[in-house]
Chain A
Amino acid sequence: MARAGITEGSYLSAEPGRGWLSSWLLTTDHKRIGILYLFSILSFFSVGVVFGFLMRLELIARGPTIMEAATYNSFFTLHGVIMLFLFLIPVVPAVFGNFLLPIMIGARDVAFPRLNLLSWYFYMAGAALAITTLIIGPADTGWTFYAPYSLRTGTSASLAVFAVFVLGISSILTGINFVTTVHRLRAPGMTWFRLPLFVWATYATAWIQIIATPILGVNLLLVIAERLFGIGVFDPAKGGDPILYQHLFWIYSHPAVYIMVLPAMGAVSEIVPVFARRVIFGYKAIAYSSIGIAALGSLVWGHHMFVSGYSYTAAVYFSLFTFFVAIPSAIKVYNWVGSLYKGSIVMDTPFYYALAFIFLFSIGGLSGLILGALSVNVHLHDTYFVVAHFHYIKFGGAAFGFFAALHYWFPKISGRMYNRRVANWALLFLFIGFNTLFFPMFVLGFEGMPRRYFDYLPQYADLQHLSIVGSWILVAALFTMIGNLVVAAYRGKIAPANPWGARTLEWQIPSPPPKENFEQIPEVTRGPYDFREGV
């Protein structure tokens, strides 16, 4: 009963003349679409976690234990495809971008609400195709679909590639929608430099989605055309060039890392000033560094290909640009830390999650510099070091950023508070589990353990076991964290409109937000992090 009470008049209340199911599946409300994304993405995330967990468990003893080598190969393809394309790339922009971006700029919805729903359907169609490949025989190409192996393999690579293509369309449509929304639907007085930093980050991400994703699309269509008609673009046997595939693939897929991380950084940029109770340090620097990351990040793809045998001169430049990307990333980290200086810091759950993000992302970023150096890369290429590095960026960075965002905006989205003590403990174990799982991989990588193997040499056993124990802690903590939020969604205490004392627009309206967000479009007169009294 109390539930009906808090959702009265909000976006969660029933829509007259529509059944419950159609009120969700045919909605054009950006908030409901955000929720659709949240549930679908979290389901795929759990599947990805299961694959990752089983892969780790397989390594508990040498030789085949719970699966054969070929099964292991399919598992890591599926783990990669699901986590990257179904979870990390869409998660923050699709869930929080959809839910919050219009509210944060003072709009009633995104610029193209129907296109927004269509993006979700494209996302689900892509996901359905990806799952179909799982049923009819998973691809064994790894998530990169490297030609020419992907051209030859008998497994359902065409279908898997097409699935990623459809997901790409969804991503481009979301990008166009967000860019247009930010340009056209800002409330009066919401100037570019009064935009919350999350909006800046989502905006920069949207441009990467628009510009980089078509390259992946063309590339994947060429793979399908190759498989069907043997047109010979990538196959050296027909005068094609397999390195071309790698170039086209990484031109998209490196920026895709920023599609994952930038919005998470945006969320952290919201959380830090709110809990430091002061204006964020270097607002413009953070805003521009988002654009800087988007731009520089498009010029570094070659560092994935140092050992592919292309020109050394090119490799030197790619290495150099890789070092440059560290600059805007470091600007963000310094500004977050700088914002804490002389702040009236309030320690609370979202802030703890944000701090975990900053710590883990920094380790991920610094280990990336080690890999970016040409000389070292040759030794560490294809070892566990690389695996550790990108998990620190993608899990420690993007996913922890998502968890932080989830805990920050949960009261707004659901109208209820979660149990903060449980959430804090979950974070502690998440943090311990994550580091126990992935830190040993840095060491294993230095010691020469190659990645992708379903087996290992006896000398690696101890660290492998440590890492497996870490995966158990991590999974238990994930369960606790998500379980806590699920319980809160039903039985949590009613949340006030602005539990954290934030100044951005989404906190100035009731929780959960009304159907059309604002009674009246607000007139914006101050910046997003203005914590002075009486303004």
Chain B
Amino acid sequence: MNNRRRIQSLLIVILFIFLITPSVYASGSAPGITERTGERVPLDASFRDESGKSVTLGDLLDRPAILSFAYFGCKDQCNTVLSNLANTLGRTNGTPGKDFLVLTVSFDERDTPVDALHKKRNYMPAAQRPMTDKAWRFLTGDKASIESLTGAVGYGFRKTEKGFDHPAALAVLSPDGRIIRYIYGNSYLPADIEMALLEASEGRITASIKKAVLFCFSDEPGARAYFISVLRAAGVGTLVFAAGLFIYLTSGKPGKKDPR
């Protein structure tokens, strides 16, 4: 009896230790966002703009900026992000190019300025408001520049057979290149952008809000079919239990006995 008690309390302690163990994911494995608010992006990292001209982030950043990542061969989430961003830009109070900049950087080193120009011609008009050519820049670069920027922003992505696995999120930068905060997901409210830009212009660093990170991933989760069958079994089990309980209860006669 005493021994059983001891084993029980040991089990409870082990369970508790398990529960307060930090996640195995806590170290920040790719892909995903590891927040680095308050830190600076590499201002000397060099990229090519849509005309193929070499520019550094330091050259471009003279006002608050919205930084988005994409790869231009993407057939899925990147397009949703860019078209939703364009739509939101069209409804935002501030003027892109005047009050703030938008930078879309490709994390695929194979993308060229021609691809970038193509994207720019596609998405700038989608905002349906007049914008200067410099308001929204689509940048490409070599592997080293890409990695120094994505590393600084904590943007984790991974190359796969069909493309890339990567998260959908924006980072907002202050004029001096500090990361003010992240805006998660693939759809944005004008107020999300306005609020972040206001903070950026005041240089005030704040915690990010929406932590539900969306992902674009080209692999079907077929490899995990095993878990789906576990879930299916659990679901069927629950329903069988519920049906069994119902049948058992309705087959008896109620209220005949007074337990007293």
Q: Interface of A with B (CB < 8 Å)?
A: 63, 68-70, 72-73, 106-108, 136, 140-142, 144, 146, 148-149, 151-154, 156-159, 162, 176, 179-180, 183-188, 190, 207, 210-211, 214-215, 218, 222, 224, 226-233, 235-237, 239-242, 244, 248, 307-309, 378, 381-383, 448-450, 452-457, 516, 520-521
Contacts and interface: CB of A to CB of B under 8 A. Distances in A.
Nearest to B230: A218
Contacts of B189: 382-383, 448, 450
23 contacts: A73-B209, A106-B255, A148-B25, A152-B25, A152-B26, A158-B18, A158-B20, A162-B19, A179-B245, A218-B231, A227-B25, A228-B23, A231-B227, A236-B221, A237-B165, A239-B223, A241-B224, A242-B213, A307-B185, A450-B195, A452-B209, A457-B195, A516-B260
Given A211-B239, A215-B238, A227-B23, A149 B212 contact: yes
Contact of A224 (B19, B195, B250): B19
B74 interface: no
A230 B255 contact: no
Given A383-B189, A455-B195, A456-B195, A158 B25 contact: no
B201 to A, nearest CB: 13
B29 A237 contact: yes
B236 to A, nearest CB: 11
Contact of B21 (A176, A228, A308): A228
Interface string B223-245: 11001000100110011011001
Contact of B23 (A70, A157, A233): A157
B187 A378 contact: yes
B9 interface: no
B161 to A, nearest CB: 12
Contacts of B211: 140-142, 146, 149, 153
Given A106-B255, A233-B224, A156 B25 contact: no
B209 A152 contact: no
Given A457-B194, A457-B198, A179 B249 contact: yes
Contact of B238 (A141, A148, A211): A211
A151 B25 contact: yes
> What are the 8 closest A-B residue pairs judged by CB atoms, nearest first?
A183-B249, A69-B207, A227-B23, A149-B211, A146-B212, A241-B221, A230-B24, A236-B217
Contacts of A307: 185-187
Given A158-B20, A215-B238, A227-B25, A449 B254 contact: no
A185 B255 contact: yes
A159 B187 contact: no
Interface in B143-173: 158, 165
A224 B77 CA distance: 28
B192 interface: yes
B256 A188 contact: yes
B125 interface: no
A218 B26 CA distance: 22
A382 B191 CA distance: 11
A74 to B, nearest CB: 10
Given A237-B158, A450-B191, 17 more contacts: A63-B204, A69-B207, A152-B23, A152-B26, A152-B28, A152-B32, A179-B246, A215-B238, A227-B25, A228-B23, A228-B24, A230-B25, A248-B231, A309-B80, A450-B209, A452-B209, A453-B195
Contact of B227 (A108, A141, A233, A309): A233
B249 A156 contact: no
A70 B35 CA distance: 13
B123 interface: no
B12 to A, nearest CB: 11
A151 B20 contact: no
A345 B161 CA distance: 72
Nearest to A378: B187
B206 interface: yes
B234 A214 contact: yes
A431 to B, nearest CB: 30
B165 A309 contact: no
Given A218-B231, A236-B31, A308 B24 contact: no
Given A108-B260, A154-B22, A210-B242, A453 B223 contact: no
A151 B215 CA distance: 14
B25 A235 contact: yes
A454 B210 CA distance: 12
Contacts of B249: 179-180, 183-184
B113 interface: no
A309 B198 contact: no
A130 B191 CA distance: 33
Contacts of A72: 207
Contacts of B195: 450, 453, 455-457
Nearest to B189: A450
A158 B15 CA distance: 11
Contacts of A187: 255
A229 B24 contact: yes
B30 interface: yes
Contacts of B234: 214-215, 218
Contacts of B215: 148, 236, 242
Nearest to B259: A108
A526 to B, nearest CB: 16
A76 to B, nearest CB: 10
A461 to B, nearest CB: 13
Given A152-B25, A236-B217, A183 B192 contact: no
B39 to A, nearest CB: 16
B252 A183 contact: yes
B23 A153 contact: yes
